[in-house]
Amino acid sequence: MKTIAVFDSGVGGLSVLRALYRHIPEVHWIYAADSAFAPYGERTESEVRARSLQVAQWLQRQHEPDVLVVACNTATAWAIDSLREKLPVLPIVGVEPALKPAALLSRTAHVGVLATSGTLSSPRFAGLLGTVQAQAAAVRFSCQPCPGLADAIERAHDSAIRDLCNTYAQALLARGIAERPLDTVVLGCTHYPFAMRHWQEAFGPHVAILDNAPAIARRTADLLGGVALPDQTDTLNAPEASLYASGDVPMLRQACNRWVPDLNVRSASRLNLP
């Protein structure tokens, strides 16, 4: 059985893990949450790069995964090029905001992007945005940093999640003008899909909200040499995962029970980093 390792600064990457195991069957999953260092989105570039390398090296050393999924937009933005350089034999998949699909979907040519400050300020995001804008020059992108939201989701503070989602949604909606209202929003942090109910309430039914996790599953399946299947929500064999957290291990297990209840947690242990 092949092994896929997934890591994030906390519980946000569980949204990616959920898409992965629903599209890729018969895999043992390793999930690492660097919760003692979370949130990455409020760390410096050098901190995120160094820490991401520590986590990736630990996963490779301890579990020899067939694929590593960096399920964190900030870690992808700041560190994935360095990871691929330093771990050349390990196939690595990153996550990026779904800007191109959003540009194609938008009827009003106005797309909102919700992400951490770290992601939005990174050269990688700037390059991605520039590439998409060169291909879709008529599309306007409005970017909104969401400080505090990943941490609220990490701690499952539902009232804070609701209030922050409403604040950031209203900030984006206010940037629309009569002839070009916002009609499409990209979730640029893997934590944010866990607030989908609040996003939908805040934006209303006429705004499409995009999550890139299914595309990540397809890319990962391709690296494994297979094909991503349709969403296997009725699978008879519950996927199994071993969990690791550099912070509160019971909190990670509780997050799994809340966010990915169909996941069978084989074990939950401490992620010991220097």
Nearest CA to 185 out of 167, 162, 209 is that of 209
Q: What is the pLDDT along the chain (274 residues), one digit of tens a residue?
A: 899 999 999 999 999 999 999 999 889 999 999 999 988 988 999 999 999 999 999 999 999 999 999 999 999 999 999 999 999 999 999 999 999 999 999 999 999 999 999 999 999 999 999 999 999 999 999 999 999 999 999 888 999 999 999 999 999 999 887 678 999 999 999 999 999 999 999 999 999 999 999 999 999 999 988 766 666 655 557 799 999 999 999 999 999 999 999 999 999 999 988 7
Catalytic status, residue 72:
yes
Residue of 72, 146, 165, 256 marked active site: 72
CB 114 within 8 Å of CB 35: no
Residue type for position 7: F
Nearest CA to 103 out of 64, 139, 67, 57 is that of 139
Residue of 143, 146, 165, 189 marked active site: 189
| Other residues' Cβ atoms within 10 Å of the Cβ of residue 264 | 12
Catalogue all structural domains in the chain, each as residue range(s) with its CATH number. 2-95+214-270 (3.40.50.1860), 99-211 (3.40.50.1860)
Q: Which long-range contacts (CB under 8 A, 24 or more apart) does 124-131 make?
A: 124/76, 124/77, 124/78, 124/80, 124/81, 124/96, 125/77, 125/96, 125/97, 125/188, 128/96, 128/97, 128/99, 129/99
Catalytic status, residue 146:
no
